[in-house]
């Protein structure tokens, strides 16, 4: 199974130049994407930003967010629990990244995503965010693309 960061998951809902890569990948994987509940908030923010910039049609941020929530309710996307195990893995991710010489730069939400992926026993992270990808690689996770 694959853990999807919001940077990649949003491409399934908003047409971007590289969306087809992620749509094809999602169609070939035999399991549903898993992500943190954080992604729901991050995607909602991205949708409203895109709508305010005029890169998506007015009114579509709310409809697209509702589609995401429906996909979660229907089981087409699985939400990883922000469990004590995820919290433990979050701390481990921070420790490993910041003790590295030189440190692997990681942001709080990226560390939560990676802690959630690891505690969910995921071995692959689907993301476009460079910092998250770099940290995932450092932690030994497979990264797509």
Domains in the chain, ordered, with CATH?
Answer: 2-144 (3.40.50.1010)
What is the number of alpha carbons within 13 Å of residue 7 lying toward its C-beta? 15
Residue 113: per-residue pLDDT? 97
In this structure, are residues 79 and 113 in contact, taking their beta carbons and an 8 Å threshold? no
DSSP β-ladder status, 78-80 and 34-36: parallel
Binning pLDDT at 50, 70 and 90, where does residue 97 land? very high
Residue 55: per-residue pLDDT? 95
What is this structure's pTM?
0.93
Distance CA 7, CA 46 (A): 9
Distance CA 47, CA 4 (A): 17
**Crossing angle of helices 60-73 and 37-53, rounded to 10°:** 160
**pLDDT at position 1 over 80:** no
**pLDDT at position 12 over 80:** yes
Closest of 87, 88, 85, 69 to residue 77, by C-alpha? 69
Residue 132: per-residue pLDDT? 97
In this structure, are residues 137 and 127 in contact, taking their beta carbons and an 8 Å threshold? no
Instruction: Report residue 122 as tokens.
Output: 């995921």
**pLDDT at position 31 over 90:** no
Binning pLDDT at 50, 70 and 90, where does residue 17 land? very high
> For the residues 94-100, what does the mean pLDDT come to?
97
Q: In Å, how far are 56, 78, 82 from 61, measured between CA atoms?
A: 8, 21, 26
Q: In Å, how far are 8, 10, 14, 120, 122 from 30, measured between CA atoms?
A: 17, 19, 22, 17, 14
> For the residues 32-48, what does the mean pLDDT come to?
96
> For the residues 41-59, what does the mean pLDDT come to?
97
């Amino acid at each position: 199974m694959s853990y999807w960061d919001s940077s990649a998951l949003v491409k399934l809902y908003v047409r971007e130049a590289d969306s087809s890569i992620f749509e094809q990948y999602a169609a070939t994987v035999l399991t549903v994407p898993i992500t943190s509940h954080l992604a729901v908030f991050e995607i909602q923010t991205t949708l409203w930003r895109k709508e305010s910039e005029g890169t998506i049609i007015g009114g579509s941020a709310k409809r697209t967010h509702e589609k995401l929530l429906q996909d979660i309710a229907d089981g087409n996307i699985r939400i990883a629990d922000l469990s004590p195990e995820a919290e433990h893995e979050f701390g481990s991710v921070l420790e490993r990244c910041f003790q590295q010489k030189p440190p692997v730069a990681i942001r709080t939400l990226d560390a939560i995503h990676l802690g959630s992926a690891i505690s969910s026993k995921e071995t692959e992270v689907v993301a476009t965010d460079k910092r998250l990808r770099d940290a995932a690689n450092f932690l030994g996770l497979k990264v797509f693309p």
